[in-house]
Amino acid sequence: MKHLRTALFLSFIPASSLMADAIERDDALKLPQTLITGNRQVEARSDSSSANTVFTRTDIDRLQPTSLSDLLGRVPGVQVARSGGRGALPGIYIRGTKSAQSLVLVDGQRMANATSADSNLQYLNIDQIERVEVLRGSRSVIYGSDAIGGVIQIFTRRGAHQAPQLRLHSAMGSYGSSQNSVGVSGGDAQTRFNLSGALEETVGINRTTVSYPVDNDHDAYRNKSVSLNLNHSLNDTLEVGISAIKSTGKTELDAMFGQQGYSDFDISSVGSFIDAQLSERWNSRLELGHSENREKTRDKLSPALYSFNTYRDALNWQNTLTLDDQNSLMLGLDTYEDRVRSSTDFEQDSRWNRAAFVQHRFEGEYFSTELGLRHDKNQQFGSNNTWSGSLTVPLNADNDVLLSYSEGFRAPTFNDLYYPQFGNPSLKPEHSKSYELQWRSQLSDTSRLETSLYRTDIRDAIVADADWIQQNIGSARITGFESALHQEWFGWQSSLGVAIIDPRDRDTGKTLSRRARRTLSLDLDRQFDRLGVGASWQAVSSSYNDEANQQPIGGYGLLGLRGNWQASSEVRLEVKVDNLLDKTFTRALYGYEGQYYGYREERRSLQFGVTWTPPL
């Protein structure tokens, strides 16, 4: 049955693209039923042992999210706790794990800051994204450190097999916000390219309700970004490619101890690959990458300047061997090195991690299995082994049951270990064990249901104590249920995601901070010829801002409406209203003079946009 599903989705890829894995990947990125992140190679979503969610560019255009954070909030089991307004730092919680326990990739390259482990997702422009894949659950055997809760991979815009196409987009909205982008893309059977640039600006809102007098101003945000993708097939068996993205700008800060703070950021990533089909049964892919996270925090009222710059070089070599019709083997080497250059002195400012991994897959008529092992050697923390295994049993042609077990680990960041006054050089790495039961059902030709029950045990979890010093707590346990229902009825396309979690510190019995126990996301859309309409509803239950559960955060519900009109073959108009009911809500708290208050989020907002794709 698995071979049939794989053949079905591959049948939609043009035959010429099957000449080259690079081109095949680019075609697969435009299809909703494919997945790359699960095993770093193209496969059917239904063949992956990981619970997963995929947003294609078509989905992004239909949903009209303002930011990547808005898009991720639609994934069951994923929560976003942003500290006020656009450009603010988002906390990303996958299945109750914190941001540092989930891996973020852009075109295969790690993006998280090596000092703070911040994902920098707030700085990625939504207009420059081709596709987003989210894996829920540990994938440490494939990716190593940080992939305890899951993996988020962003793919930047890609070219298509067509004549060069110009793309212009401009949008304006509430709070003095604007989003503008320009791009050109195209290609043929051998070469594809995309080059684009974007500018996003907003006057912003005052992120803090009660604070120092100098904080009573709007917190603006400005982001300039550029991205490039180029893939070329040298012959039928050898392909090369390069991708790059760079975002620079400024975001203003609040609650800076009586200062008027702002941050200048410069985020960049460059990746390249060589993909060779060495024989009918052996594919080899080598990826090289370099990423930088540079940030300078300043104060308008003083000459104070704090810089935090991190640099990462990475290499991945993966070999996929098709042993026979039912068995395949994946062998890989993975290495990266982090370096820190900062105005703050760190006891250590560099470290490397080297790893080897192997994974065997068996696909049979009555069951399928996946078994993997990874060995990491970290310069600071020595050797670490992680295992994973899964069993898939097809009950019939429309229903699969999956059982899986996976281990994970996370090495402490440089901030965790060495930040003055708050770091703790005695920290140990975090380790996890996860157990999961999935049921995937094709209820009808137009309805699909995916549900999961899971438990994750984390040992030596790293949290800040009452004095903000990082400590290893005894253990944390997260149990949860999530379900995603995709259905089309009477022309309406609907996506419903529900998640219930119980994230606890097992030593104290307290709920882990900023994790809501219940979340719901619903999207309804319909296309009437050239006119499209849609609505979104998001509901999030209450949570706690702190590990002691003394600072409650109220729950909230948000309603949004959107519409689009294809005025001509070249012009598309869009309009949307977020927070239609004008709700006051917060996702995180801050402290001021011994009290805690909620960071403000945008109230009702309107945005109008136009996309023009003239021929060249």
CATH number for the domain including 450? 2.40.170.20
The proportion of the chain whose per-residue pLDDT surpasses 70, expressed as a percent, equals 95
Domain count for the chain, please give it.
Answer: 1
Is pLDDT larger for residue 116 or for residue 310? 310
- The answer to whether residues 213 and 47 touch, using CB atoms and an 8 Å cutoff, is no
Identity of the amino acid at 51: A
Question: Mean of the pLDDT values across residues 259-282?
Answer: 91
Question: Mean of the pLDDT values across residues 235-241?
Answer: 93
Q: What band does 1 get if pLDDT is binned at 50, 70 and 90?
A: very low
Q: Which tens digit of pLDDT belongs to each residue from 342-360?
A: 988 889 999 999 999 999 9
**Model-level pTM?**
0.94
Per DSSP, which regions of 280-419 are E strands? 282-299, 305-322, 327-342, 350-363, 368-378, 382-396, 399-410
- The answer to whether residues 86 and 202 touch, using CB atoms and an 8 Å cutoff, is yes
Q: Which tens digit of pLDDT belongs to each residue from 514-550?
A: 999 999 999 999 999 999 999 999 999 999 999 899 9
- The answer to whether residues 192 and 231 touch, using CB atoms and an 8 Å cutoff, is yes
Q: What band does 254 get if pLDDT is binned at 50, 70 and 90?
A: confident
The whole-angstrom separation of Cα 137 and Cα 149 is 5
Q: For position 23, what pLDDT does the model report?
A: 55
427 lies in which domain range?
2-612
Residue 500: CB atoms within 10 A of its CB come to: 17
